[in-house]
Amino acid sequence: MLIKNLIILALCVFPAFSAPSPLIKVQKAREPIAGRHIVILKESASRQANIDPFDASSITHKWDIINGFAGSFSEAEVEALKSNPDVLSIEEDGLVYTQATVAQ
């Protein structure tokens, strides 16, 4: 747990010493699931290197079609992701509904 916290702290602190970059804004879901987020990485970023700092049980999805992952993250972890230069976007995970009309 200590190593995980140190890694998260490093992810927050080290970007401060590099070129300034704006924090990524978390996109809001209409019906969010508390604590769950979808993270999309830049094409050049290593998904595994960005997943490694997290507890394996917190990652719920990894995709091959896009460079990203989803999971349950604490507020501190989301803050670290927002300043991570490999992250392209972060969105709240949420409920989505479909509606179809059938003509007979």
In this predicted model, what pLDDT tens digit does every residue of 32-88 receive, in sequence order?
999 999 999 999 999 999 999 998 899 999 988 999 999 999 999 999 999 999 999
CB contact at 8 A, 33 and 94 = yes
Domain map (residue ranges) of the chain: 2-94
Residue 92 confidence (pLDDT):
96
Cα distance between residue 40 and residue 15, in whole Å: 19
Record the pTM: 0.72
How far, in Å, CA of 39 to CA of 93, rounded?
Answer: 10
Which two tokens mark 91?
Answer: 């969105």
On the 0-12 / 13-18 / 19+ scale of CB atoms within 10 A, 37 is buried
The fourth-level CATH superfamily of domain 2-94 is Peptidase S8 propeptide/proteinase inhibitor I9 (3.30.70.80)
